[in-house]
Chain A
Amino acid sequence: METKTKQEKLKATGSTLRISGAEAVIRCLLAEDANLIYGYPGGAIMPIYDEIYKFQDQLHHVLTRHEQGATHAAQGFARTSGKVGVALATSGPGATNLVTGIADAQIDSTPMVCITGQVASHLLGSDAFQETDIIGISTPVTKWNYQITKASEIPEIMAKAFYIARSGRPGPVLIDITKDAQFEMFDFTYNKCTGIRSYQPYPELINESLEEAVRLIGEAKKPFVVWGQGVILGQAEEEFKTFLETSGIPAAWTILGLSALPTGHPSNRGMVGMHGNYAPNLLTNECDLLIAIGMRFDDRVTGDLNTYAKQAKVIHLELDPAEVNKNVKADVTLLCDCKISLQALNDKISTKTYPEWIKRFDDLDVIEKEKVIYGDLNPTKPGLTMGESVEMINKHSNGDAVIVTDVGQHQMVACRYAKFTQSKSNVTSGGLGTMGFALPAAIGAKMGAPSREVVAIIGDGGYQMTIQELGTIFQQQVAVKIVILNNDFLGMVRQWQQLFFDKRYASTEMTNPDFVTIAKGYHIDAARVDKREDLDQAVANMMASDKPYFLEICVEKEDNVFPMIPTGASVSDIRLE
């Protein structure tokens, strides 16, 4: 295997050192600027934890309450900081507990390096205590993985791990290190990886494709942009904004693209997909040019592919060749980092406006406001709605908080109504739909953006999947605001049962504990609100706190999220009620 490297001056030493594999792991982390890591100790990774103890003045280790929490925290950290998140676990169950977070990071392209301890190399395959084939288990859900059995492999493999995790389309990498390799002494030098011969992070932009894209944009009468997380991952927010402002093209986001453009920007026409906005979904099937930027046409975005944007020419800006023509056939593909493609487009396109086309969006927005949004945000029935709760958070955060969500109704409502002014502000489990993501992810999100307000909005179901991370929040005093939108139901599943299973509410109603008492048990300030007249003050109190704070908002039990495109239906069949 051939790699390109760059000689890095060792932070601590400056030259070759004879050290243990375990110490080498720590020095590699520091050389990669990873001085904040999440994890959980155990037998097979104890040599590395012993070094964490010795390096505690340089490396902050956050002890989560479950390894899954460590991965989600590392993801949250990566999503708000733009850096690689790091999670550590022991062999066997420690390693398998990482799998959900790794799968989540893979499908949502989150840069993460997971390090697992493994039984000593002479025990591999012997069914030793806490032995599991984590390489085999994690293969389908990692961008790359590798088992280290000799200390001398550690510097090169760690350098590759960080390079692979952060470059191109980011993703999770798992490095499994046998216990004997952690103990083994060797001569350590560290070279940062700058290239791998079998791996091209992204292709070079092809000029003919660019010309063709410019031509299509120039000819379009009703162009429409759908953008995804690629804009954020490519740090292309400025180029993207310029593109929209110059081209005059209306744009809508996928759930992971949210916050790349301020929600109040005039070109921002809302969300596409299953619970997205009315106008962008309907007009997907009316536009004559669909420009997809850093998104992958997930089925939750497209609905029925046979009726998706068939009338439109498609330009796809994407850096992963495997995503091009996977779900939607593109007429022109700009295969490159979208920061580069967008800049190249910006150099060639001219200023335009589409007043009649934009009016189509405005008119449909009015319908959605009347039929859905007004009722969500200004309800007259006694029970609180999720929509007004999110709106109240907007009011007190001035739309400038990082919003971390879990999965379900609250997630869709939060993404629909939360206001954003800065990029990297929406942290959610999009592709995998991992309930239990939000609470630990919020820990990482706050540590990745310590100066920002971080509000986790979570349902009562998902909250209880990783509720033990309250212990991490308490121990580390991570000043996150935790909002539970409690409807005593697994709300989204219940909504589907109501709409598609004749209201047979199988196993979706929850008998919940006293969440406020639980939070207080962890010495976290906590309050509950169930009346409209108290909501404003309750959210104000939460936002005024500079400590961790828990707020339970008791919402209407059987509210539904609309608009909705039923699974497998066309985006044109979007329902408002």
Chain B
Amino acid sequence: MELKTYTISVYSENNIGLLNRISAIFLKRHINLESFSTSESEIPDVFRFVIVVNIAPDKVHKIVQQIEKQIDVIKAYYHTDEETIFQENALYKIRSSYLFEERQIQNIIKSSHATIVTVSPEFFVIEKTGFREETEKLRQELAPYGLLQFVRSGRISVTKAKMGISEILNTFKK
């Protein structure tokens, strides 16, 4: 079956070991993750995992059920790209001398709408937020000038539809 990209969103308690528990569900099924990021959510003490995975459509539902089954998971969802607003963030570290010697770099930065985060005598760092194709395009454009370091974050995403986590938590309080 053809693979499709899904964003899995997991709302959970902030407990040690939960990351391991969730990643073990993918490990057991021999599924590779495209990206994984975690942060506090809009609700105090509730954490949100954003997991991107390329997987057959019939499998994603089963995986999400297994995630939601974990005791410390409040709710898990999966969405297609069309159903979410998503971004990635990338940092590019380049030798400072190039900024002045290679005029083309300035054009690349300008046209890509990247921002310069810091400039020091030895290096400068630029930042770009956007879709994977955009950060990747910038990486390829800068590569000929020698990237000292490149790093890209995992996807972060919000859904177009509402999640209703507060309702779940309020129901529990009753």
Question: What residues of chain A have their CB less than 8 Å away from a CB belonging to chain B?
Answer: 1-2, 4, 135-136, 139-140, 143-147, 164, 195-199, 320-322, 325-326
Most buried by B among A135, A196, A322: A322
Name the CB-closest residue of B to A1. Answer: B13
A322 near B73: Cβ-Cβ < 8 Å: no
A326 touches B62 (CB 8 A): yes
Bound together, the chains give a CA A164 to CA B72 distance in angstroms of: 11
CB-defined contacts of B157 to chain A, threshold 8 Å: none
Task: Give the residues in chain B near A164, CB-CB below 8 Å.
Answer: 71
Which of B15, B17, B21, B71 has the largest count of A CB atoms less than 10 A from its CB? Answer: B71
Given A136-B20, A139-B20: A198 in contact with B62 (beta carbons within 8 A): no
Question: Are A198 and B73 in contact (CB-based, < 8 A)?
Answer: yes
- What are the 8 A-B residue pairs with the smallest beta carbon separation, nearest first? A322-B65, A197-B172, A198-B74, A144-B71, A140-B24, A322-B69, A1-B13, A199-B71
Alpha-carbon separation in the docked complex, A145 to B21 (Å): 10
Name the B residues within 8 Å of A1 (CB-CB).
13, 15, 45, 72
Determine whether B16 belongs to the interface, using a CB cutoff of 8 Å to chain A: yes
Interface residues on B, range: 20 to 34
A81 and B137 CA atoms in complex are apart in Å by 64
Contact A139 B21 (CB under 8 A): yes
Q: Cβ of A325: which chain B residues have Cβ within 8 Å of it?
A: 61-62
Residues of B within 8 A of A143 (CB): 71
If A140-B28, A164-B71, A321-B69 touch, whether A198 touches B12 (CB-CB below 8 Å) is yes
Q: What are 26 residue pairs bridging A and B, where the CB atoms are less than 8 Å apart in the complex?
A: A1-B13, A1-B45, A4-B172, A135-B20, A136-B17, A139-B20, A140-B21, A140-B24, A140-B28, A143-B71, A144-B72, A145-B17, A146-B17, A147-B16, A195-B172, A197-B74, A197-B168, A197-B169, A198-B71, A198-B72, A199-B72, A320-B69, A321-B68, A321-B69, A322-B66, A325-B61
In the complex the two chains form, what is the Cα distance from A143 to B13 in whole Å? Answer: 16
Name the residue among B72, B73, B74 with the largest chain A CB count within 10 angstroms: B72
Whole-angstrom distance from the CB of A559 to the nearest CB of chain B?
A: 36
Q: How far is the CA of A140 from the CA of B26 in the complex (A)?
A: 11
The residue on B at minimum CB distance from A140 is B24
Of all chain B residues, which has the CB nearest A327?
B62
Interface pair B15/A322, CB less than 8 Å apart: no
B24 CB to closest chain A CB (Å) equals 4
A135, B62: Cα distance in complex, Å: 25
Chain B residues near A322 (CB, 8 Å)? 62, 65-66, 68-69
- A1-B72, A197-B172 are known contacts. Are A139 and B65 too (CB-CB below 8 A)? no
In the complex, how many angstroms separate the beta carbon of A18 from the nearest chain B beta carbon?
A: 27
Bound state CA distance, A147 and B70, in angstroms? 16
Tell me the smallest distance from the CB of B107 to a CB of chain A, in Å. Answer: 49
Within the complex, what minimum Cβ distance (angstroms) separates A168 from chain B? Answer: 9
Q: Which residues of B contact A139 (CB under 8 A)?
A: 17, 20-21, 24
A395 to B62 Cα, complex, angstroms: 46
Residues of A within 8 A of B16 (CB): 147
Query: Which residues of B are found within 8 Å of A144, using beta-carbon distances?
Result: 70-72
Q: Whole-angstrom distance between the alpha carbons of A322 and B59 in the complex?
A: 12
- From A1, A196, A321, name the one whose CB has the most chain B CB atoms within 10 angstroms: A1
Tell which of B20, B65, B74 touches A321, judged by Cβ atoms closer than 8 Å: B65
Partner of B17, one of A2, A135, A195, A326: A135
Q: Which of A145, A146, A198: most chain B CB closer than 10 A?
A: A198
Question: Once bound together, how far apart are the Cα atoms of A198 and B76, in whole Å?
Answer: 11
Name the interface residues of B66-122: CB closer than 8 Å to any CB of A.
66, 68-74
Min Cβ gap B174→A in Å is: 11
B17 and A147 form a contact (CB under 8 A)? yes
User: Which residues in chain B, 118-174, are within 8 Å of chain A measured between CB atoms?
Assistant: 168-169, 172-173
Query: What residue of chain B has the Cβ atom nearest to residue A143's Cβ?
Result: B71
A4 to B169, CA, bound (A): 12
- Closest A residue to B27 by CB, please name it: A140
CA distance A64 to B68 in the complex (A): 36
Most interface-central of A1, A144, A197 (chain B CB within 10 A): A197
A321: B residues at CB distance < 8 A: 65, 68-69
Task: Give the residue of A2, A136, A140 whose beta carbon is less than 8 angstroms from that of B172.
Answer: A2
Closest-by-CB residue of B relative to A142 is B21
Shortest CB-to-CB span from A114 to chain B, Å, is: 15
Q: How far is the CB of B17 from chain A (nearest CB, A)?
A: 6
Report B15-51 CB contacts with A as 1/0, cut-off 8 Å. Answer: 1110011001001100000000000000001000000
Q: Which residues of B contact A2 (CB under 8 A)?
A: 169, 172
B residues near A196, Cβ cutoff 8 Å: 71
* B77 smallest CB distance to A (angstroms): 14
Find the A residue at minimum CB distance from B24: A140
Q: How far is the CB of A461 from chain B (nearest CB, A)?
A: 28
Chain A residues, Cβ within 8 Å of B62: 322, 325-326
Closest CB of chain B to A291's CB: distance in Å? Answer: 22
Docked complex Cα distance between A468 and B152 (Å): 55
